[in-house]
A and B are shown apart, each in its own frame.
Chain A
Amino acid sequence: QEQLRESGGGVVQPGGSLRLSCTASGFIFRSYGMHWVRQAPGKGLEWVTFIRNDGSDKYYADSVKGRFTISRDDSENTVSLQMNSLRAEDTAIYHCVKDMDWGFGFWGQGILVSVSS
């Protein structure tokens, strides 16, 4: 059974950093690209970033470009999101998502990141 479990969320001050991790199980992790998608309070979903299955390409939404970095460790079946220079508008639930057929094939439950002084 597929599982994606996010960790590392919490409260951070504006300008601070946080690192999210997502551990996968139940599928061949190295065969799939992975996304992070977020949902701010009262707002719709926003795609954040994507990494190819082999890590060769990484893409970012304009809103996070230059501040967020996605990476993966296939030996640990994990994908990570390093978030720097955090802003209040980065407050959201962050979901780790398995890519499938140009869609978001399987979602983690999500983890809360709150940027507040």
Chain B
Amino acid sequence: QSALTQPPSASGSPGQSVTISCTGTSSDVGGYNYVSWYQRHPGKAPKFMIYEVNKRPSGVPDRFSGSKSGNTASLTVSGLQPDDEAIYFCASYAGRNNWVFGAGTQLTVL
């Protein structure tokens, strides 16, 4: 069982927006602004999409955005494109030199 809770699936039509949640506790998501998000296509290594809750690494489109409220972080994908179909998972620093992950959410572009 993963430390962070994500919905197993999410979906949207091309051009729409979809938001994926990542729920932890005050010891991880709620306690630190070190939440990150990753995209994983089948057979590929995960790709770094969001760091420190809402910052995008160079090269990541601004269609991807992150936020946090309390113990829940969220990833929003706007203007859905077919290539956005992938598994998205979150991670958080959990204090005491420890990191935790979510189990991942399968995003389907209808």
Q: Report A27 CB to chain B, min CB distance, Å.
A: 13
- A45, B89: Cβ atoms closer than 8 Å: yes
State which of A9-17, A72-80, A83-91, A97-105 sits at the interface with chain B.
A97-105
- B48, A104: Cβ atoms closer than 8 Å: yes
Interface of B is mostly: strand
Provide the bound-state CA to CA distance between A101 and B37, in Å.
12
What interface size band does chain B fall in? 20 to 34
- B45, A105: Cβ atoms closer than 8 Å: no
0/1 interface trace, chain A 46-77, chain B, CB 8 Å (1 if under): 11001000000101010000000000000000
Provide the bound-state CA to CA distance between A31 and B102, in Å.
28
Residue of A nearest to B32 (CB): A102
- B34, A47: Cβ atoms closer than 8 Å: no
Residue of B nearest to A50 (CB): B97
B21-51 interface (Cβ within 8 A of A): 34, 36, 38, 45-48, 51
- A47, B46: Cβ atoms closer than 8 Å: no
Residue of B nearest to A59 (CB): B97
Give the chain A neighbours of B97 by CB distance below 8 A. Answer: 50, 57, 59
Report the 9 A-B pairs with minimum CB-CB distance, sorted nearest first: A103-B36, A59-B97, A44-B2, A103-B51, A44-B103, A107-B45, A47-B99, A102-B34, A45-B101
Hey, which bits of chain A sit against chain B, CB under 8 A?
A: 35, 37, 43-47, 50, 57, 59, 61, 95, 100-110
Hey, which bits of chain B sit against chain A, CB under 8 A?
A: 1-2, 34, 36, 38, 45-48, 51-52, 55, 57, 89, 91, 93, 97-104
Please give 5 more A-B residue pairs, beta carbons under 8 A apart, in addition to A44-B103, A104-B91.
A59-B97, A59-B98, A103-B91, A105-B51, A109-B45
